[in-house]
Structure 1
């Protein structure tokens, strides 16, 4: 009986010890599992935070890429605008330069030009020369009346022209051709009075003499021929005057 009690006590103690050990192990396991979960939760939260940060960084990067792309596109657009403006300005200045050159050329055409016409020096304008040439052309084509009108217009419009004495001579000749002897004599005398030393004076005197002779003013005609021969003895007009004078009765 006495031997059995210690054995049973030993078993009870052993069972108690095992129970205590199991209980401690169970508490330890529970403690370790709770810590692990806490750590897992911490890691999970950290991962979530990292993922969120990465997501935000990714979005920020993508926005930056998009904004850079927009800025690049805008820059390229502005560069095209600048290039277009440069091309437009280049064309504009080229056209402006052409217009300026053209205007300068036109101004040169209308600027008076200094020339010498049969010993008379002066400035002429393009329109002046055109009118004179047109008048002479009408006379050469057998239109003395038209020539008279143009020559009269020229003489009135350009009294200081170096062509004036020559125009006055041709006016006298044109009037003689149209049988306007009085007008021819007046035009010839106007030339002689204004330019007594002009090379056309001998011809003008001869034309005046012919007008006088054909209008039956033979005395005045002879005097004019004699004056021509005396004043310009070596001229071709003087030779013609001598021949004419020899035929006048």
Structure 2
């Protein structure tokens, strides 16, 4: 009996060991499954999170690109506006420079300048010079009556002009040409009184003698020619005066 009991006890112990081993194996499989499932869940979570992050990054990049494009367009608009403003400013500056140049030209045209006539230098206004040149042009064109009027008006308009000695000389010549001998003599004498050292002074004296000859005043013409030879002995007019003196009776 005792032996039978020992056998039974041994068998029971063996069955218990086998049962415990089986239960232990089953426990280990469940743990492994849970670990695998947990790992899969983590991987899935990480995948979802990664895809979400990628999606958000893509959306953020898209917004950034749109914002950058918007900024570029705004910069282009600003650049175009500034370019337009610069072009307008450049045009305004160009217009102002043109106006300034025009004003400067007008001022230069109206400013007195240094001129030289018959060996005499003086300052004259542009208008003054223009009027004298115009009157002289009329005389040289052979329009003596018109030249007489032009020079007479010039002397009246510019009483202090440096042109006046020359103007009086040509006025006297225009009057001589139109046979206004007494008026011519008066203007030649005015010219000599104003500028006795004038380059055309000898010619003016000779012209006075010519007027006197035309007026049949031979005695006065002789005195005038003698004064010419005495005052301007080396001049061509004096040489002509000597020849005329020899022919006067």
Instruction: Give 1:85 shift.
Output: 1.4
Q: Distance in 2 between matches of 1:227 and 1:69?
A: 101
Q: Distance in 1 between matches of 2:227 and 2:51?
A: 129
Q: Distance in 1 between matches of 2:109 and 2:246?
A: 51
TM-score, normalization: structure 2? 0.71
Q: Deviations over 1:33-80 (max 9, x none)?
A: xxxxxxxxxxxxxxx9x9999988877765565444333322210111
Q: How does 1:180-191 map to 2 (within 5 A)?
A: 180-191=180-191
Aligned residue in 2 for 1:203: 203
Q: Distance in 1 between matches of 2:119 and 2:236?
A: 18
Q: Secondary structure at the match of 1:121?
A: strand
Aligned residue in 2 for 1:121: 121
Matched, 1:91 2:91: yes
Q: 1:180 to 1:55 in 2, by over 3 A?
A: same
TM-score, normalization: structure 1? 0.71
Aligned residue in 2 for 1:213: 213
Does the Cα contact within 8 Å between 1:122 and 1:160 map onto a contact in 2?
no
Aligned residue in 1 for 2:226: 226
Q: 1:51 to 1:234 in 2, by over 3 A?
A: closer
Q: Distance in 1 between matches of 2:57 and 2:239?
A: 118
Q: How does 1:1-249 map to 2 (within 5 A)?
A: 65-249=65-249
**Structure 1: gaps of 5 or more residues:** 1-47
RMSD: 4.5
**Structure 2: gaps of 5 or more residues:** 1-47
Aligned residue in 1 for 2:29: none
